[in-house]
Amino acid sequence: MKYSLSLLTLSLLLFCSLSACKKGNVAPSIETANDTIAAQVNGAPMIFYSIRFSAYTAGAYSEFNIIGGDNTRTISLHIANYHGVGTYLFTGSNSSASFQDSTTTYAATSGSVIITKTTNSYIQGIFSFTAGPYNITNGLFNSTL
């Protein structure tokens, strides 16, 4: 009887500890692949492999655009007055972001992008923003330029 009770207790402990280890929605590591944008969109992880970078410089002014998409969704980040590593807020006409689903483009009403690393041939950063009904979190991108 004592053996059965110990086995039952051990089984219950094992079951409780395994059920407590539930998988969370974690964005892919920024080191997993070049030329990707990944984010959690309303809690669901998404990876966008079709990625485009563009830059514009006129004198001391620089602009930087990052666009990633798949067949039905697009994330766009626009950085005005780009100056390398740093934080850029999505406010008004300075910098902006948007999320497009299969029918509508929603402009960000809050959020930011942080450029974490840049060289002559590589850029890496993280971002988050709210756009319409979409909450974009744990965003990251990296690309060779």
CA distance 97 to 66: 9
Token pair for 54: 């563009």
- Residue type for position 7: L
CA atoms of 41 and 47, how far apart (whole Å): 10
Residue 93's pLDDT is what? 66
pLDDT, tens digit, 9 for 90 and up, residues 43-101:
999 998 778 877 777 877 788 888 998 889 999 999 988 888 999 999 866 789 999 99
> What contacts 24+ positions apart, CB below 8 Å, involve 100-106?
100/69, 100/73, 100/74, 100/75, 100/76, 101/72, 101/73, 101/134, 102/72, 102/73, 104/132, 105/74, 106/131, 106/132, 106/133, 106/134
Query: What pLDDT does residue 63 have?
Result: 85
- Greatest alpha-carbon pair distance for the chain in Å reads 84
pTM above 0.85, yes or no: no
Inter-residue long-range contacts of 46-50, CB under 8 Å, 24+ positions, other chains counted: 46/70, 46/73, 48/73, 48/74, 48/75
91 in Cβ contact with 112 (< 8 Å): no
**Per-residue confidence (pLDDT) for residue 78, from 0 to 100:** 92
